[in-house]
Structure 1
Amino acid sequence: MTGAGRGTGWGHVVTVLELTGRPRTRDGIASHWTQVDGLRMHARVTTAAPDGAPDVVLLHGLGVSSRYMLPLARELAPHFRASVPDLPGFGHSDHPPAALDVPGLADALLAWIDAAGLTAPALVADSVGAQVGVAAMRRSPEAFGRAVLISPTVDRRGRNPVAQVGRLLRTGLHENPRLAVVLGRDYLACGARRALATAWHALAHPLEDDLSEIEVPVLVVRGGADAVVSQRWAEEVAETLPDGRLAVLPGRSHSLSYSAPGPLAAAIGPFLGGPPPGPDAPTTRQAADSISRFDSATVVLRAAATALHGNDLPALDAVPRPLGPLVESALTLVDALPAPVREQVHRLGRGSEAVPPAELHAVSAEAVARWMVAQYPRRSYPVAIVGSSSGALAHLAAALGAPFLPQTFLLPVARPDVDPDDPRGGMTAGIGPAELLLDANPEVALHHTHDPNQDRLSHARMTYFRLKRRRLGAAFTGFLTETLPPGATLLVADCRLRWPVTRLGDQHVFQFGASRGMPPEEFRSESEHRGWDVPPADEEAPEAEWGFDEALGDDLAALAAARGWRLRRVAFDEPAALSPLIADLYRWWYLRRGRPAQRLLVESFLLLDPHLALATGSVPYWSQFPVEPAADAVERYLDHADPFEEILLTLFPPGTQDVAVAPAKRWRDLLGRARRHGAFLGIDPDAFPRGPGSFGRFHRELAALPRVDPPAPLTLSELDVFLAERTSSDGPPVHWE
């Protein structure tokens, strides 16, 4: 080899260890040499990317060469043109007389970018390479379009040789054993003196001093088992960057580019402009670990699915069925604890579901959709329901023998550092994690909600990301195509409830407050009283938990037309608006089948069970939440309905006394409307609105009622007869199209 520093000594070792001569192309990788400031620099470039693919520069770390980055380059190659240079003194590149410091390496990188003719490529820099990359971005703000910093060194809390050696030894236990061969070869090639001098330069260069000057979007990536780059340091790096976000690969170590190239490529590809990783990516979280077990959409889905299987819903079906009775008993025991302890149990329970913000890149909405359709028996159905959630819809699905697929699901996100009374801080903290999530899931819209009234206890540990499908996706499309024959009906559930939001992006809005008994204007006035700093709303959007995003309607209509299905729509103004109609439908259906219809079962939020309602001959009335407007709605229903002999009523315990919750006395008065017997079901009215034991007692007490033979399934033609007979004045407006 020719060039500075190539005469004798280590230059002969380099000649033996490295391929020399003309550029070579092998396994989709081509070698290129470029003259840069008197030194010949080598780079490996992938050749498999399609025309017009984005340019990405991969930058190696301390002592190694471009060879170390090749596993990642190959993973990125189908979608990016990856260039992997050897910095001066390493790999094929010429050796300058003395080891360059971090600024010197940054200058060499910038000069190589210019000589190679690259225009604002993305940068993916590893370990010490991240220090070089950040220094280059500070020197030339327009050199790179965006950047990924993998395992960025050096943690300022361990900036000394002894600490770094100790951390390297600990993290080495988790590395790919084959990495030792690459390290030995590259370190021998560059020479111990150069490697040690470069390490000393890296220790002396404080990365944090440059971060605040970086103007482009930056993704910081850390392995969860990396002892060199701590979680605290990675978070600090991401937070110091003006446009930074953090992704963590659980269980992975420091050398992600070599030891975990597939998961790393899946995590960074969407950020770099590549396609989303999809539900089969190596990083994808299990669907059951990506949703809340105690959310309206999840419970309504499970309620409909278990009814179609002929089963009830012990412990909300949130645990394996054999454990249901044990969990219900344990929840009952919690009621005996002091109030502060019960509240802490609530916080811990909700917080245990939360996904760490830095792992949102691994959440797949399509994987969640696969989980949803897997809950149902694979058989032919005359009708399927898709769209907004409502407990009343679970009962409609059970009556028709129809699957229900929700458009929305709740992704609980860990957020330990934001006060529940700081909605603006909550919104800001969610922006970076939201970008990770949406990069990986372009088919959804994100509604980030913050409700310091009803969700105070939950907000101490988590925040609410609600995802609405804007496209059907493969899992929903496949399930519907497989189970609905030609001539079947596809029913769109369209809750038209809307809410003021702050628009943060094309797919991202922030919603302050939620539809649980307090309208938006009251939330705003309450914020002035409580001193909440609320971001101003600039538009209205479908309400996060319940509203239907019409973007999904186009896919539903197109699929129905292509498959020869009848497309119908049921539109309602709020989630519980369907409840009077469904209660009357059940009563009509029971009487039509010659069954008694004298017990009204008033359910509450997550406390519902369609199978047991049918098995006990109960007329179900689902109440959205135990608040004053809901109590008023039940009272209006009782005013117009024929009297019931028996009324059983349960109340979902929110855990705190928020401003809208109706007291137990208000509900007890409604029980007095029964001709013969009215009683609370599964709750201790003296403990309400606290008392998590209700989650266990509700199912046990409902299951203990005498059983009856369920009626023959309701047909669509019978549903049409009922709708024709029922007048619009019988309840809240519900439009069937």
Structure 2
Amino acid sequence: MTERFSSTWTQVDGRRMHARVGGRVDAPAVVLLHGLGVSSRYMLPLARELAPQFRVHAVDLPGFGRSEPPAEVLDVPGLADALLAWVDAAGLVAQALVANSIGCQVAASAMARSPQALERAVLIGPTFDRRGRNLPAQVVRLVRTGVRERPGLAAVMARDYAACGPRRVVRTVRHAFAHRIEGDLPAITRPVLVVRGGRDRVVPQRWAEEVTAALPDGRLAVVPGHGHALNYSAAGPLTSAIRPFLGGPPPGPDAPTARPATASIAQFDSATAILRGSAAALHGRDLPALGAFPRPVAPLVERVLPAVDLLPDRLREQVYRIGSGSEAAPPGELHAVSAELLARWMVAQYPRREYPAAIVGSSSGALAHLAAALGVPFLPQTFLLPVAQPQVDPDDPRHGLAAGAGPGRLLLDANPEVALHHMHDPNQDRLSLARMTYFRLKRRRLGAAFTGFLADTLPRGATLLVADCRLRWPVTPLGDRHVFQFGALGGMPAEEFRTGSPRVADYLRRYGSACRRWDPPPVDGDAPEAEWGFDPALWDDLSEIARERGWRLRRVTFGEPAALSPLVADLYRWWYRRRGRQAERLLVESFVLLDPHLVLATGLVPYWSEFPVEPSAAALERYLDGTQNGPGAQPYEEILLTLFQHGTDGVGVAPIERWRELIGRAGRHGAFLGVDPRLHPRDFSSFGRFHRTLAGKPRATPPAPLTLEELDLFLAERPDDAVSWDG
């Protein structure tokens, strides 16, 4: 039950202290603490927003509002003692504290002096910035910030200042300037959320980050577009940011503060590219500029990109850094990221019609081609959220873990349905890591958007294919749903990231690093690989919905993402021949360089590889060996090959000669497609040239879709030890 706010008085050290109390009687207690000269009235807008989920107590400190004044003006520790005494006298247990401005100094002092008295705290606009602890600087900052506040705030402040008197205000300001909040922060062992308005001039971003870094368990949230008095002028957005931290429900995808899906998902990531490729194929469209730009401007982007290759290597690398970093979300705004909103964006990519099947789970470019052949949608379990982290050296994984811990907790508080795999790979992602880090989120629950889409588009008797990549990686656990992964699938094994090797030392030397091996945090077990592995927690929801809707549930299990590629390539050859098509032209794709519709339109056989690294080259070689030398050998007359461009000569990157040798295995014609071999691995214009070159190939009408019955027939004829199909 929600009550109106009423006044209560509590006897504390011979004086009466006043508080406004309201909200749910049976809910956890939240104490609101005002700033300089004002009272609990100043906290009422926030109190009303919190009241539906919490029992809210907005207290007046001694001498302010309706609380009795002490004989002397209390300093910050004195106010902290009074706060602690009031909490005890009021009989509050398991309470959280939410403070603003100078109230943050009082809160920090109280938590440092009595670590067990308060469960957690939110510090909104904590004062004072150590570079501005003087009256002139603060007056200028307050005036600049004041234009961002609600007009009614001035009246509240005038009334409260008059009530406590100028002498108390001036003495309290002096005490606040003398107090050093940073001295209390390291002693606060409880979780603390620091909140700053994006246009708060009193609390610069730099200072908010310093305060957060000084806390043993701190995290930082930024509310864009607002000033210092968030509790009064932006109570709604502030509540969305802090409510999950306080133990309340997350804001959800329809909250006005939710970050748009297109601003939260990586444009140049495996899951995004595979999703876009699958969706475009169902629309009967290709993917100009990899689908990362609106179709009207994509051709222009493809023509402009070649200019990048005219730059020297270092400038090209800088362009790559800036481009990848531009996608990154500010870490302080992760409270506004909604995994469910991202799921809505994913399902909106597909035509809303009836399908015979759907694929859900691990990403693989081969699955995009399987989905295109069957004419069905693919929904990835994992997606990438790039997070700005320019202060972290790529070769310092321990700093990377520490910098990502607070933002990770903020994100998980707001999204209970996902797990976070914080990935740090200084080998393949060296250029990107200079400006951002990789937060990969895995859905552990199906969620409303995925559930609704599947229920609307799959009739009874349809098939739900679950893509289950069993690839795992050593991790450092940071929580129930939070792990840190150092290194990733690519050109070197997991162990080499940790132990080092001569080739790692050579790589670090070539890039001017001060170290010759990395010093990652210790591991404790393993987990599904961040980008590719399947989190089995999702299986329960998939099983339940399949049972309820009368769908056939099939688990497709494979050891690594490209393990499906030989099977899918052979499936296409088999399918093409059943439709009376030629099947002797192979396209070797690389990471995000894929286009399922154009593959079908040009009659190519797709073979997808993860990266242009030696393990991928070796896998392709084994596949070509089988087509040339195995039972019923059917060599390819033409081999076209593209290469994803990481921008660095990382450990394990296969040299261009290795790839040239592989395309030389073609019976008639072998060539690179869309990539200039002279510039590998820095041919960044290949991201546009891939589509333009492929789109220029002669086209024919795509074959009629492959049926599920035909798929089963093919699987019966072609057993594959690398892939299992259960169900």
Q: TM-score range by the shorter chain?
A: over 0.9
Aligned with 2:394: secondary structure? coil
| Corresponding position of 1:22 | none
| Corresponding position of 2:546 | 560
| Corresponding position of 2:630 | none
Q: Deviations over 1:264-321 (max 9, x none)?
A: 1111111111122211223211111111111100110011011111110111111111
Aligned with 2:533: secondary structure? coil
Shifted more, 333-342 versus 669-678: the winner is: 669-678
Give the one of 93, 114, 119 matched to 2:93.
119
The answer to whether residue 534 in structure 2 is matched with residue 548 in structure 1 is yes
* 1:50 Cα offset (Å): 5.4
Q: Which amino acid aligns with 2:706?
A: L
Aligned with 2:557: secondary structure? strand
Q: Which amino acid aligns with 1:643?
A: P
Report 1:227-238 matches (<5 A): 227-238=201-212
Distance, in Å, in 2 between the alignment partners of 1:245 and 1:326 is 41
Q: Deviations over 1:475-506 (max 9, x none)?
A: 11111111111111111001111111111211
- Number of aligned residue pairs: 709
Q: Which amino acid aligns with 2:464?
A: L
The answer to whether residue 12 in structure 2 is matched with residue 36 in structure 1 is yes
| Corresponding position of 2:631 | none
Structure 1 runs of 4+ aligned residues shifted over 4 Å read none
* 1:246 Cα offset (Å): 1.1
| Corresponding position of 1:262 | 236
Give the one of 554, 557, 560 matched to 1:571.
557
Distance, in Å, in 2 between the alignment partners of 1:73 and 1:645 is 72
Q: Which amino acid aligns with 2:549?
A: R
Change (3 A) 1:78 1:680: same
Aligned partners of 1:569 and 1:736 also within 8 Å: yes
* 1:704 Cα offset (Å): 0.3
Aligned partners of 2:554 and 2:725 also within 8 Å: no
* 1:736 Cα offset (Å): 4.4
| Corresponding position of 1:109 | 83
Unaligned runs of 5+ in 1: 1-24
Give the one of 673, 691, 713 matched to 1:699.
691
Aligned with 1:104: secondary structure? helix
Q: Deviations over 1:21-43 (max 9, x none)?
A: xxxx9962121111222222111
Q: Deviations over 1:200-248 (max 9, x none)?
A: 2212222122222222111111001000011111111111122211111
Unaligned runs of 5+ in 2: 506-515, 628-633
Aligned partners of 1:578 and 1:734 also within 8 Å: no
| Corresponding position of 2:707 | 715
Aligned with 2:568: secondary structure? helix
Distance, in Å, in 1 between the alignment partners of 2:378 and 2:38 is 55
* 1:139 Cα offset (Å): 2.2
Aligned with 1:322: secondary structure? coil
Q: Deviations over 1:403-461 (max 9, x none)?
A: 10000011111111111111122112211111111111111111111111111111111
| Corresponding position of 1:12 | none
Aligned with 2:150: secondary structure? coil
| Corresponding position of 1:73 | 47
Distance, in Å, in 1 between the alignment partners of 2:566 and 2:549 is 33
Q: Which amino acid aligns with 2:281?
A: A
Give the one of 153, 161, 173 matched to 1:179.
153
The answer to whether residue 621 in structure 2 is matched with residue 635 in structure 1 is yes
Q: Which amino acid aligns with 1:245?
A: R
Q: Which amino acid aligns with 1:477?
A: T
Aligned partners of 2:601 and 2:702 also within 8 Å: yes
Aligned partners of 1:50 and 1:78 also within 8 Å: no
The answer to whether residue 671 in structure 2 is matched with residue 679 in structure 1 is yes
Aligned partners of 1:577 and 1:734 also within 8 Å: no
Report 1:466-477 matches (<5 A): 466-477=440-451
* 1:531 Cα offset (Å): 2.3
Distance, in Å, in 1 between the alignment partners of 2:384 and 2:368 is 18
Distance, in Å, in 1 between the alignment partners of 2:465 and 2:32 is 50
Distance, in Å, in 1 between the alignment partners of 2:402 and 2:40 is 38
Aligned partners of 1:50 and 1:79 also within 8 Å: no
Q: Which amino acid aligns with 1:688?
A: H
* 1:101 Cα offset (Å): 2.0
Aligned with 1:28: secondary structure? strand
Q: Which amino acid aligns with 1:584?
A: D
* 1:163 Cα offset (Å): 0.6
Aligned partners of 2:498 and 2:519 also within 8 Å: no
Q: Deviations over 1:576-625 (max 9, x none)?
A: 01111111111111111111222111111110000000111111111111
Aligned partners of 1:354 and 1:412 also within 8 Å: yes
Aligned partners of 2:148 and 2:199 also within 8 Å: yes
Aligned partners of 1:573 and 1:734 also within 8 Å: no
| Corresponding position of 1:592 | 578
Distance, in Å, in 1 between the alignment partners of 2:163 and 2:446 is 54
| Corresponding position of 2:169 | 195
Shifted more, 565-574 versus 26-35: the winner is: 26-35
Report 1:472-483 matches (<5 A): 472-483=446-457
Shifted more, 682-691 versus 242-251: the winner is: 242-251
Aligned partners of 1:65 and 1:90 also within 8 Å: yes
Q: Deviations over 1:155-194 (max 9, x none)?
A: 1111111111000000011111121221222222222232
Aligned with 2:500: secondary structure? helix
TM-score (normalizing by structure 1): 0.94
Please, what is the CA RMSD of the aligned residues? 1.5
Give the one of 445, 470, 487 matched to 1:496.
470
Q: Which amino acid aligns with 2:707?
A: T
Report 1:365-404 matches (<5 A): 365-404=339-378
Aligned partners of 1:32 and 1:45 also within 8 Å: yes
* 1:653 Cα offset (Å): 0.9
Aligned with 2:420: secondary structure? strand
Change (3 A) 1:395 1:194: same
Distance, in Å, in 1 between the alignment partners of 2:564 and 2:708 is 17
Report 1:169-568 matches (<5 A): 169-526=143-500, 529=505, 530-568=516-554
Q: Which amino acid aligns with 1:627?
A: V
| Corresponding position of 1:16 | none
